[in-house]
Amino acid sequence: MNAPTALAHLTPELALRNTPDALIDALKARFGSNCSTALAVRTQHGRDESSFEAPPPSAVVFAESTKDVADAVALASEYSVPVIPFGVGSSLEGHLLAVQGGISIDVSRMNKVLSINADDLTVTVQAGVTRKALNEELKSTGLFFPIDPGADASIGGMTATRASGTNAVRYGTMRENVLALEVVTASGEVIRTGTRARKSSAGYDLTRLMVGSEGTLGVVTEVTLRIYPLPEAVSAAICSFPSIEAAVRTTIEIIQLGVPIARVELLDVNTVRMVNAYAKLTLREEPLLLMEFHGSPASVKEQAETVQELASDHGGNAFEWASTPEERTRLWAARHNAYFAAIQSRPGCRAISTDTCVPISRLADCLLESVAEVDASGIPYFLVGHVGDGNFHFGYLIDPNDAEERTKAEALNYALVMRAIELQGTCTGEHGIGLHKMDFLVTEAGAGAVDMMRTIKHALDPKNIMNPGKIFR
């Protein structure tokens, strides 16, 4: 694998297939105005938050039911034309691009919360429900769904990418929180995987096979999720450290001691400076940890005391605490503004996000070497991390018209990923493989495991119509 091809931005490998007029006619006959071939609609569905570009899909079907999805897939299968499921379009890895042509199936109108089982702490939703809409619906029940990728992504999309976010250190990722699925297979059949029971040993774990399969094995139409009681008490803290290493060492000790911390996010000094400038804050210009504790009042107090002690041992200072929702929001603003602050720090730039995740004992090594490399490169960047999980994101702020900068960013990402894999980590903690990391997947998992994935793909989708050209070449 050569570094220059690792991050081949803006030039995905195209293998366009023909979409016969007969298919478009059949879709229009079946879906009427819910099938659009307008260029604006197709263009909107042919891109995502990645920096890739490809021709738009030939048509967009707005599905309003599982039956709509099944019928659209069955028609596409009949003509061997690719289908690409679309939620809100927030993929960072090119998942939504029609690199082999085909049609987009937009599930955003499938936005009903189908049942809330407060007694069982489960909820069943249609795939187009977004995480924020779900939490809005749950508000009156005293329950919440904790998984929070940056975007207000659809639950279907979060399932497809095995998403996580800031709460994963305590509540797990989509891997741990999807209990059951309804899926439309490559032939347009509707199947169900899993049950609402908390555990099961009944056959192959098709649920977990679908979670993270990026639309390449089927279209997720319904999702049953675990939900959680809103904690009785919540406390948040911000703490500055003399170095990234000190912040990371503190995090490692928090996890090792088994403190049930809910969130622990790192911002490097660059990011703190950018946020101060953008949001007119006066945060100490040092690396910082943002932390949140959930539990009973006594447990939260105890967690906070333990963490404060650990942080102090590593030179952590300027602790600031927040326990009301308003104060917490103010504290978390630094984290939430990081991306926009970074983008604004270099007008016209584009942020290229990395997504490595390593065992936590290797986090300091992985981070420090990578910081040294990017500092030496001269590329502006920000660095934020879900450090409790060993997952972090550099955002390289490149001039999209400067080929040299792009090449430098590619080389930095390549070195970073190779380091993470060497340290027994992964090239992607939460964004997925998409178009971006196919070669890295081979390096990480080995040719044998990737062959096994490809064998499964071929068996379940013999015509290769389910979001083809993603995960593997």
Whole-number Å distance between alpha carbons of 364 and 381: 18
| Shortest Å distance, C-beta 125 to its own copies | 16
| Shortest Å distance, C-beta 433 to its own copies | 6
| Shortest Å distance, C-beta 257 to its own copies | 7
Q: Which is nearer to its own copies, 101 or 429 (CB)?
A: 429
| Shortest Å distance, C-beta 140 to its own copies | 16
| Shortest Å distance, C-beta 420 to its own copies | 8
Q: Which is nearer to its own copies, 42 or 170 (CB)?
A: 170
Q: Which is nearer to its own copies, 32 or 258 (CB)?
A: 258
Q: Do residues 61 and 103 make contact, with C-beta atoms less than 8 angstroms apart? A: yes
Q: Which residues are 126's β-sheet partners?
A: 222
HSE-up of residue 461 (Cα within 13 Å, Cβ side): 25
| Shortest Å distance, C-beta 164 to its own copies | 6
| Shortest Å distance, C-beta 277 to its own copies | 32
Q: Which is nearer to its own copies, 290 or 441 (CB)?
A: 441
Question: Quick one: residue 135, left, alpha or beta (phi over 0 = left, psi -120 to 50 = alpha)?
Answer: alpha
DSSP H or E run through 267: strand 263-267
Q: Which is nearer to its own copies, 162 or 406 (CB)?
A: 162
Q: Which is nearer to its own copies, 2 or 201 (CB)?
A: 201
How far from 240 is each of 29, 366, 393, CA to CA, in Å? 61, 21, 19
Whole-number Å distance between alpha carbons of 419 and 228: 36
Q: Do residues 49 and 355 make contact, with C-beta atoms less than 8 angstroms apart? A: no
Give helix 269-279 / helix 338-345 axis angle, nearest 10°.
90
Q: Which is nearer to its own copies, 102 or 295 (CB)?
A: 295
DSSP 362: G
Amino acid letter, residue 93:
E
CB contact set of 311 (below 8 Å; sequence gap of 6+): 239, 241, 250, 289, 319
DSSP H or E run through 354: none
Can you count the helices (H) and strands (E) in the chain?
18, 18
DSSP 50: S
